[in-house]
Structure 1
Amino acid sequence: MEPVEINAGAYYLRQLRADRKLDDRPALMEAFADPRHRRYVLNYRLRTPDEATEYVTLRAAQWACDERCSWAVADLATGRLLGEVGLRDLDLDFGTAEASVWTHPAERGKGIAAAGLSAAIQFGFARLGLHEIAYRHDESNTASEVVARRAGFTRVGPEERPSPSGETLIRWVLKPS
């Protein structure tokens, strides 16, 4: 599938970029260096421009093979990366996916994650024909709980397995209305 841009009201969702016109790599490295970000996002390390380039390339490849839709949540005026939102573990045959979102440390608390996630969810239901989107977070990640509630998810309880960090993993589900 080809990447799609989405108008998210105060923000817009676009593909991650690392080119002459727009380079998300510095903001990615800043975000992934943040201790709170590292606490909850364990499977990626973006310490160098090369690692950030690999991350941008990975996200493009995931779009291409219908594995994951991933967007930079960007400032309308400048295109600056404010966070990332995605629908991962896409199963277009069964109509399911899992939502993911993070916000750059300098942009937290502004509603960016909820706005971006809501736009990605609408895309998933309307354009991809999804029937269910899950969302998971560590129990201690209270910001993720707020985002899940604002996006309309229903808490279905803790998972039986712990999160990669060893904490209780909370699961939420959303179905189209």
Structure 2
Amino acid sequence: MEPIEINAGVWYLRALRADDRIDDRPALAAGEITDPDYVTLRSAGWAEETHFSWAVCEPTTAELVAEVGVTPTGDGAATVSGWAHPGYELALDAGLRSVRRFLTDGLGLTERIEAADLP
């Protein structure tokens, strides 16, 4: 599957990138994700339909401020996860809401809630 871009109100969700126009690796490193192959792995996840990830970005600069991911579990469900740079929790919340809608409406999956995720 090709990556899907999502408009989340004031936030813009797109695939992670590391090219001559946009390089998310510095923002990822600031979020303690330092694997040099991380963007490549996330791109492969889209192609293999094993993990879908989105950079939650400032719409004017395209700067990554959070990341949201969906991992299909193979039984019609998927887990949803995400993280944000400090101060961008609202961006993460907006991204999670939009991705959860896409999970159901676009992918036809339901969200699997893990016991550890329950209060």
Q: Which has the higher contact order (CA 8 A, sep 6+)?
A: 2
Q: Which residue of 2 aligns with 1:127?
A: 106
* CA deviation vs aligned residue, 1:94-150 (integer Å, no higher than 9, x gap): 320000010013x334x11110001111111111111x20245xxxxxxxxxxxxxx
Q: Matched residues, percent identical?
A: 43
Q: Which residue of 1 aligns with 2:42?
A: 59
User: Highest Rg: 1 or 2?
Assistant: 1
CA contact (8 A) 1:86 1:99 kept: yes
Aligned match for 1:117, one of 73, 96, 104: 96
Q: Aligned equivalents of 2:102 and 2:79: distance in 1?
A: 13
TM-score, normalised relative to structure 1 = 0.63
Mind listing any 5+ residue stretches in structure 2 that lack a counterpart?
none
Q: Which residue of 1 aligns with 2:117?
A: 170
- Matched letter for residue 88 of structure 2: R
Which secondary structure state, in structure 2, belongs to the residue aligned with residue 12 of structure 1? strand
Q: Which residue of 1 aligns with 2:58?
A: 75
List structure 1 runs of 4+ shifted beyond 6 angstroms.
none
Q: Which residue of 2 aligns with 1:9?
A: 9
Q: Aligned equivalents of 1:75 and 1:84: distance in 2?
A: 12
Q: Across the two proteins, how many residue pairs are aligned to each other?
A: 119
Instruction: Report the RMSD for the aligned CA atoms in angstroms.
Output: 1.7
Mind listing any 5+ residue stretches in structure 1 that lack a counterpart?
33-44, 137-158, 160-168, 173-177
